[in-house]
Amino acid sequence: MEHKHTYDAQGKQTCCTQQEKIYTNAGAKELLKGGHNKNDEHKHDAHSDDDGHNHGSTDKTTFQMFLPAIISFILLMVAITFDNWLPQTWFTGWVRIIWYAVAYLPVGLPVVKEAFESIGKGEIFSEFLLMSIATIGAFAIGEYPEGVAVMLFYAVGEVFQTLAVTRAKANIKTLLDQRPDEVTILENNQPKTVKAETVAIGNIIQLKPGEKLGLDGELLSDSASFNTAALTGESKPDTKAKGETVLAGMINLNTVAQVKVNTAYTDSKLSKILELVQNATAQKAPTELFIRKFAKIYTPIVVLLAVLITVVPYFFVDNYVFSQWLYRALVFLVISCPCALVISIPLGYFGGIGAASKNGILFKGSNFLDVIASIQNVVMDKTGTMTEGVFKVQEVILKPEFNKDEILKMVNALESQSTHPVATAIHQFVGEIDSSIKLDNTEEIAGHGLKAIVNGKELLVGNFKLMDKFNISYDLDPTSIVYTLIAIAYDGKFAGYITIADSIKEDAQIAIDKLKALGVKTTMLSGDKSTVVKFVADKLGITNAFGDLLPEDKVNKVKEIKTENETVAFVGDGVNDAPVVALSDVGIAMGGLGSDATIETADVVIQDDKPSKIPMAINIGKQTKKIVWQNITLAFAVKAIVLVLGAGGLATMWEAVFADVGVALLAILNAVRIQRMKF
């Protein structure tokens, strides 16, 4: 039976009976391969605690996961006690063998089964096969305690790996739980609880304080405050006015609110974000791909070496004892198991993606974590990226021979054909559009402005490049005015201009300062006039700034930067600047909540529109890469040392266990560390 989720004002879940299942060992591995575990298809049957450990009757609890290892450990310790400290006359021969075999089965049987299944899938040289050969071989030469111990520690390591993956998924699980299963809609002014996915566009949702919105819509109430933490990573209240867009995942804080649904459940911004984050692990970083290819070559080689260690000494050693050299070969196999690399490296990248999503930054793949870590130059747009993108009209300067009211009405009507922030500013300044004004042959000229025929005469509204394009003469120097200028021409004559100003975002300075601290160059490219761009760049301390650029000019500028062998990230709206985003090494979109196309276009999406998240994204990439290489170095160094000792007969199964399971656990603990870092 499914239940509705409720939340307090801080966004903490107060009741939930639907959570993702904990990942089994096989599920964890499947996740790290970037695939979907069959048990992970939104089967939510049991309670979970904050760490993602399930406590329901239908799923394995943490205790149940450790139970086979606990049974094996108890039987092993009793056997070792009988062998060494409390010798028993009956604990010999077949009784002793059977006892150790029973101790082996709880932890060994699943691994042997996995080995056969892997062989059936064509993956012959898997870690399961290595562990099976090594431990069964230990039994064959009478080293029963070591055979059980190796498999026991391996099984414990597998459980810890599973728990580590589950913990790394905690942020995404939280996101997955942001969509309530049920919502309250109004039918004939009567509240009715229905499944969220059945709600149709046009339905009205009634949202009580503390409840979470299930679908995107338009606010019908006069105003309402929302906690947007699920979408932006920050719980700062966001007050919306009537008519504004509110999104699935937002929590209503104060009063009862009504929302008119305008987007289907599966098409909501949150649904798209969730899909993006869930699919992020499918895009592998080069290091991940290398380790996977390396493991496929490395494992058969160590199996061959183990065979050679057993056989070759027969021809060169006088007192050759088969069991001794087989033991060395088995130790060699255990040491060579590539668990630490195969598990901890993808987990490190997954941890980076999780840490980023927790902070409102969405990476489309771990490959972009790698690239962004080495960014040398951040190229940014101005409007909507470093500035608010909310323009306000400052002055209207028109020639005396033109009627100000008539010109402004025509300009307002023409600008209504555009979605540019400048058009919004003019509309807010002038007011309602005069329906009596008829526009003919309306045309948008990219990078210049708009053109139309009004009352049989040509109306031009745009920048001064538009005036030059149509040979309209004007008697002022546009570069002498700092503000953004909107030039107007009517009937082939220059009519005047409107000055518009935008404000710099409050954390833009923090972003530039942090980028400089990271040693990253900054460049601003904008279609806005050069004086405005230079003014903003100088105020923020941006290294290079270029204005009056058409889309193709931006592309050429980025190409110039890339010829200097610099790794480039472009930050913009991800839609208008699509060519530059495609050309850059990493495309970063600001304001991902406002545009579906933004989410589709960019490699990285900053959800809350804050420039300070740009250096944060770079820092997360750097820390992730650092942790991954720490794990690679640790695994190779320890394994290389113990492999040499093992081949020389100086390392036992116990050292082999540390080299395999111990190093894997250390690497995993290091990988999940990124989840707790402050950026």
In tens, the pLDDT along 231-255 reads 665 556 788 889 988 888 888 988 8
- Could you tell me how far CA 170 lies from the centroid of its own chain? 13
Average pLDDT over residues 169-178: 55
Give the integer Cα–Cα distance in Å for 103 and 92: 15
Q: How far apart are CA 247 and CA 270, in angstroms?
A: 7
CA atoms within 13 A on the CB side of 672: 19
DSSP 257-291: EEEEE-S-GGGSHHHHHHHHHHHGGGS--HHHHHH
**Is the pLDDT at 26 greater than 50, yes or no?**
no
**Residue 459 pLDDT exceeds 90:** yes
Q: List, in order, residues 6 or more apart from 327 with CB less than 8 Å away.
A: 138, 141, 143
- Tokens 């969220």 belong to which residue? 196
pLDDT band at 178 (very low <50, low <70, confident <90, very high): low
Can you state the angle between helices 286-311 and 322-336, rounded to 10 degrees? 180
Active site residues: 381
Pairing of β 484-490 and β 457-462: antiparallel
- Cβ proximity of 674 and 170 under 8 Å: no
Phi, psi of 260, deg, nearest 5: -90, 120
- Three-state secondary-structure class, residue 193: strand
Using the Cα atoms of residue 379, residue 382, residue 387 and residue 390 in order, give the sign of their dihedral. Answer: negative
pLDDT of residue 27 exceeding 50, the answer is no
Task: Report pLDDT for 30.
Answer: 37
For the segment 618-665, what is each residue's pLDDT rounded down to a tens digit?
Answer: 999 999 999 999 988 888 888 888 878 877 778 877 787 777 777 878
Q: Are residues 220 and 175 in contact, defined by beta-carbon separation less than 8 angstroms? A: no
Q: What is the DSSP letter of 46?
A: S
Strands (E), 201-256: 204-207, 217-219, 223-227, 237-241, 245-246, 251-252
Query: Is the model's pLDDT at 4 over the cut of 50?
Result: no
Q: Position of tokens 């089965």?
A: 105
**Radius of gyration of the chain, Cα coordinates, nearest whole angstrom:** 32
Cα distance between residue 89 and residue 554, in whole Å: 86
What CA–CA distance (Å, rounded) separates 361 from 588? 10
Question: Does the pLDDT value for residue 345 go beyond 70?
Answer: yes
Q: What local confidence, expressed as pLDDT, does residue 28 receive?
A: 34
d(CA 223, CA 257): 8
Contact 131, 152 (CB under 8 A): no
Question: Which has the higher per-residue pLDDT, 2 or 181?
Answer: 181
pTM of the model: 0.67
Place of tokens 């679908």: 215
Burial tier of 182 (Cβ tally within 10 Å: 0-12, 13-18, 19+): middle
pLDDT band at 484 (very low <50, low <70, confident <90, very high): confident
**Who wins on pLDDT, 339 or 489?**
489
Q: Which amino acid is at 526?
A: S
Amino acid 544: pLDDT: 94
Q: Distance between CA atoms of 614 and 276, rounded to whole angstroms?
A: 19
CB-based contact 277:353 (threshold 8 Å): yes
User: How far is Cα 206 from Cα 192, in angstroms, rounded to an integer?
Assistant: 9
As a whole number, the mean pLDDT across the chain is: 81
Quick one: average pLDDT of 85-93?
A: 90
Distance CA 283, CA 271 (A): 19
Nearest one of 375, 376, 350, 374 to 363, comparing CA atoms: 350
The alpha carbon torsion through 44, 46, 47, 53 (nearest 10 deg) reads -90
Sequence letter at residue 211: E
Write down the pLDDT at residue 299: 76
pLDDT at 313: 92
What are the pLDDT digits (tens) for 499-554? 988 888 989 999 999 999 999 999 999 888 888 899 899 999 999 999 888 778 88
User: What's the pLDDT tens digit per position in 555-605?
Assistant: 899 999 998 888 999 998 755 676 787 788 998 988 665 556 666 778 898
| Domains of the chain, earliest start first | 182-270 (2.70.150.10), 370-387+506-620 (3.40.50.1000), 392-501 (3.40.1110.10)
Residue among 23, 53, 56, 52 at smallest CA distance from 38: 23
- Gap between the Cα atoms of 57 and 44, Å rounded: 12
pLDDT at 408: 96
What are the residue ranges of helices labelled H in 177-259?
Answer: 229-232
CA 194/CA 661 separation, integer angstroms: 49
Q: Distance of alpha carbon 481 from its chain centroid, rounded?
A: 43
First vs last C-alpha separation in the chain? 40
pLDDT band at 165 (very low <50, low <70, confident <90, very high): low
Of 14 and 230, which is predicted with more confidence? Answer: 230
Task: Please report the pLDDT score of residue 460 as a whole number.
Answer: 97
> Partners of 499 in the beta sheet?
395, 485
pLDDT-based confidence at 137, cuts 50/70/90?
confident
- For residue 360, pLDDT over 60 is answered with yes
The pLDDT of 117-131, averaged and rounded, is 82
- Mean predicted confidence (pLDDT) in 490-504: 92
Which residue would you say has higher pLDDT here, 519 or 679?
519
For residue 285, the model assigns a pLDDT of 65
Exposure letters 468-483 (e unless 16+ CB within 10 A, then b): eeeebebeeebeebeb
Distance CA 485, CA 500 (A): 6
Res 13 pLDDT > 90:
no
Who wins on pLDDT, 596 or 139?
A: 139
What count of Cα atoms within 13 Å lies in the side-chain half-sphere of residue 384?
A: 24
Q: Which of 500, 402, 405, 522 is nearest to 457 (CA)?
A: 402
What pLDDT is attached to residue 620? 95
Q: What is the pLDDT of residue 173?
A: 55
How is the beta sheet containing 223-227 ordered, strand by strand? Answer: 237-241, 223-227, 251-252
